[in-house]
Amino acid sequence: MQPAALQTVELPPATPPQGMSLSALPTGSMTSRAAFAYRGGRFGDEREFAMTAVLVRHPRGDLLFDTGFGRHLEQHLALQPALMRATANFSKGTPAADQLAAHGFDTGRLAGVVLTHAHWDHVSGLDSLPGVPVWVNAAERDFIAGGGDMTSVARSLDRLEFKLYRFTDRPYLGFAQSLDVWGDGSVVLVPAAGHTPGSMIAFITLPSGARYALLGDLVWQAEGIDLPAERPWISRALADVDASAVRENIARVAAIHRRFPQIRMLPAHDARAMGSLPVFPTAAQ
């Protein structure tokens, strides 16, 4: 579906159960320049890039979306390209697993860690979540196996238990395919390839009616959707496997944003957006 066709699309129904909630688990940050984040950004505009996991609690199973930084950040960072390390400064926080444990949450009860994609800064925290299933689609699993430097951390982690999921041919907000995880419209995944082959977006609807879109790295800052704007060429060359697919998905999500402004768009690394979420153990419901 082309973005213009969204004008005839209604907001998808959802019946999220009582007890469902959403919390942020900030695990650290990176500082860089807006000029590296979106086309048109200024070198003089310093930005904080969030490294935040998102916990979605649901009676049928709790899911952690991405992990942020883990306990072995220094080793993981050393595996990354020199250009990336040279253009950013990293600040280590508390790993998501340790935050959960500090408040009595047994990570063994997680139904899974759902990866928006498998780049190092989204999987680093798997080093402290042994035995938790890692949800990926087949395209992202294959990318991990042969993705070079950008998936070296995922390959370095021992005994990851992958749980493969498949999208169905059921449209959702202009995306041709989707996966309704729990069958109630509360957690819906859609394919958004381009940044990586198996990148995806998660649409979350809470009992209060609040709606969120976990965009992963489709864009790095909110301007990517608001303007809209893709990454500058140097960042595209470093991070995206298919820049044209990223461009198409940005246009699609920007159209969703215009049509349904009540859906809160959450680029994974926008500290302003991620910082607006309640931090575990507090939660939005």
The three-state secondary structure class of 207 is coil
> Average model confidence (pLDDT) for the chain?
94
Task: Write down the CATH number for the domain with range 3-274.
Answer: 3.60.15.10
Residue-wise pLDDT tens digits, 149-161: 889 999 999 789 9
Question: Mean pLDDT over residues 59-86, rounded?
Answer: 83
Residue-wise pLDDT tens digits, 194-234: 999 999 999 999 999 999 999 999 999 999 999 999 999 98
Position 264 confidence tier, pLDDT thresholds 50, 70, 90: very high
Q: Are 65 and 54 in contact (CB under 8 A)?
A: yes
Q: Are 154 and 123 in contact (CB under 8 A)?
A: yes
Whether the predicted pLDDT of 102 surpasses 80:
yes
Strand partners, 56: 22, 63
Position 82 confidence tier, pLDDT thresholds 50, 70, 90: low
- pLDDT, position 41: 96
Where along the chain do its domains lie? 3-274
The three-state secondary structure class of 52 is strand
- pLDDT, position 2: 64
- pLDDT, position 44: 96
Amino acid present at 138 = A
Whether the predicted pLDDT of 249 surpasses 70:
yes
Rounded Cα distance, 216 and 46, in Å:
21
**CA-CA-CA-CA torsion sign (23, 15, 137, 198):** negative
Q: Smallest Cα–Cα separation from 17: which of 203, 208, 189?
A: 208
Whether the predicted pLDDT of 25 surpasses 90:
yes
Question: Mean pLDDT over residues 104-123, rounded?
Answer: 96
Tokens of 164: 């493969």
Residue-wise pLDDT tens digits, 116-157: 999 989 999 999 999 999 999 999 999 999 867 889 999 999
Considering the entire predicted model, what is its pTM?
A: 0.95
- pLDDT, position 8: 78
- pLDDT, position 85: 62
Amino acid present at 263 = I
- pLDDT, position 208: 98
Whether the predicted pLDDT of 4 surpasses 70:
no
The burial class, CB within 10 Å (0-12 / 13-18 / 19+), for 102 is exposed
